[in-house]
Copies of this chain bind each other. A is one copy, B any other.
């Protein structure tokens, strides 16, 4: 028995009945598939709009083997993930895919986030800065294509799209060296995704210049930076600092200034991510920008290539970063 309440959501059958055609034909029209006359198309569209028909994506996906759905796992805390999600939406739309979002929160770990997406019949997964161990990622990749963004993975089981973080730090350090700095310290990101790569880049660039490398433990939030700055203030101050990311850098700048120091007068500071905060005129942080547009486009493209069975050579796609110079860096005095 068909329920027939006035609140029932209209279906293909409703449109078909009202337009005097078969459901199959309605389906054809609404999918823009070939096989219907212009006149019929017009009429069916008219009727569909009239009764406010909306396709039921569940039913659609159930029937067609392809779901054209990409699962995305992101951290609700990270501002940068927000930028990536924006880019992913755009990139997915360009190739005719939809996105299913699943957030990692303090009370919902990565496993749960992934499990949710798997039930939703996503065809592939895009993980933003995942913290799962490599083995878990590899295992997941046996089920469906997995693209990891913004974290290097030492495994050929998954695809990776990331910024050349080492190169980013090279740019930062070289910029400081060119300004005349000889004492550059790195505030690192601890175990955060990408931290190791940035630390390495810093060390390479500094050693290449024949200078000693010095690292202070930091983290990804403002207070990590604040703590690092206090540690720096305890000893002889360097003339310049490179920091794991912008939020952490903000903490560094803040503590230095409150301690009476001037940025960039006494200490130059370089951040990472070129976030909105960095662009804020009153902080105006020199920062390494990641190419969000390119990262997200590559991530989606790669996922789709896998789904289409296109043979791909490199699993590790690396995007060059760009240094954005603002006023938190200056020659030492």
Chain A residues within 8 Å of B, Cβ to Cβ: 54-59, 61-62, 67, 76-77, 79, 82-83, 85-86, 89-90, 98, 100-103, 105-108, 116, 118-121, 221-223, 226, 229, 251, 254-255, 257-258, 276-277, 279-283
Would you list 30 pairs from A and B whose C-beta atoms are within 8 A, ordered by A residue? A54-B119, A56-B121, A57-B121, A58-B58, A58-B61, A58-B120, A59-B62, A76-B83, A76-B85, A76-B86, A79-B79, A82-B103, A82-B105, A85-B105, A86-B103, A89-B103, A89-B105, A89-B107, A90-B107, A90-B108, A101-B103, A222-B282, A223-B279, A223-B281, A226-B281, A251-B282, A254-B283, A255-B282, A257-B257, A258-B282
Please report the C-alpha to C-alpha distance between residue A35 and residue B85 in the assembled complex, in whole angstroms: 45
Determine the chain B residues whose CB is within 8 A of the CB of A58 once the complex forms.
58-59, 61-62, 67, 120-121
Smallest distance from the beta carbon of A326 to chain B beta carbons, Å? 13
Are A222 and B85 in touch, CB under 8 angstroms?
A: no
Q: Are A106 and B119 also in contact (CB < 8 A) when A62-B56, A222-B280, A282-B254 are?
A: no
Are B223 and A280 in touch, CB under 8 angstroms?
A: yes
Smallest distance from the beta carbon of A226 to chain B beta carbons, Å? 5
CB closest residue in chain B, given A256: B282
Please report the C-alpha to C-alpha distance between residue A258 and residue B282 in the assembled complex, in whole angstroms: 8
Determine the chain B residues whose CB is within 8 A of the CB of A55 once the complex forms.
119
Please report the C-alpha to C-alpha distance between residue A254 and residue B283 in the assembled complex, in whole angstroms: 7
Determine the chain B residues whose CB is within 8 A of the CB of A103 once the complex forms.
82, 85-86, 89, 101
